[in-house]
Structure 1
């Protein structure tokens, strides 16, 4: 395995280039930026919006945090059950139905940008939006890979166990066993199209075979 330091700006440009490559073979490009909150996947997804729009690509930002299941399901086994966090929190069926499947070849392009407000524990009642052909969906969140969700491009922001523990807020440390299980069962560095080591999120490095 080769690890090559890369600037944040160059990383953004590299992912944007990969989006352009994927767009040659798909009506829409669905991009997953996968990583624990400590790895800041939302920051990378946000950084891609401007460069992609400058290239003439319509962009829609969606967060997996807006597609969690209701508290009655998420917290059925308690508020700090790592296996439930791994298996049950994300409503992957709704994410497929409302966001990803409409961007399949021949799809409508009509996407629901958010479904559930986990803090208020109620539907967001967000209106549907149309993503024109040639557009890019940027989805960020943890534990996105290994769920048979369709993406044209997947980026995994990887942290070693020590770095993840250091950067994870104390109130969220109970999730660490879920990420250890994710590493063991899903092997996201290998599953992703592009893996980036972010033990220090300010200094990313590409991970290549």
Structure 2
């Protein structure tokens, strides 16, 4: 028997630990049913039986079936996040973008029912930490493209285009009869995305702050959005950045 000042803390923590383990067991049971037998198989009774719990436990843990499905979607995002490889210094940021897109599409094709749950419904699971961590990885890829002078569009638009084309590719593929699934669909969608968000060649010969500043400085006289005073001030800033000062 535990004694001392920590005994009450440990005793209070034990029910919480048990609750978390039960919750995870239920989520994994639901995910298993979803993968094997599809969305219709994920009933409260079937999940409770597979997880070895009473049906009321599911309502206590998740509120209702929709809450359980939300948790399964969050579990899916966590599983996808664990599969992602992050290279902070890729040799070619465009090839790194392709690899990230291929990984996302590959996950969807390997987990069709889970992917349909995650991405087939607006905002399903998108409040989870894993979803936001995954989006940060995508944002970092986009910023490496921008830093290399290869980004054609604004960063937020690039994120949306990449995310939308991967989702659309998977859901379209899954909607087709098996005999009509042509791999060219996936390749064409990927390369269309790459063409839409990247430049074939860097927009500056010398990637980096100084090179970008020199390019923008050369184009500054052609712009009309700034007043004369604003253009003069920006020119001074760009001159300083271009010189490395």
TM range (shorter): under 0.3
The structure that is strand-richer by fraction is 1
Larger-Rg structure: 2
TM-score (normalizing by structure 2):
0.24
The structure that is helix-richer by fraction is 2
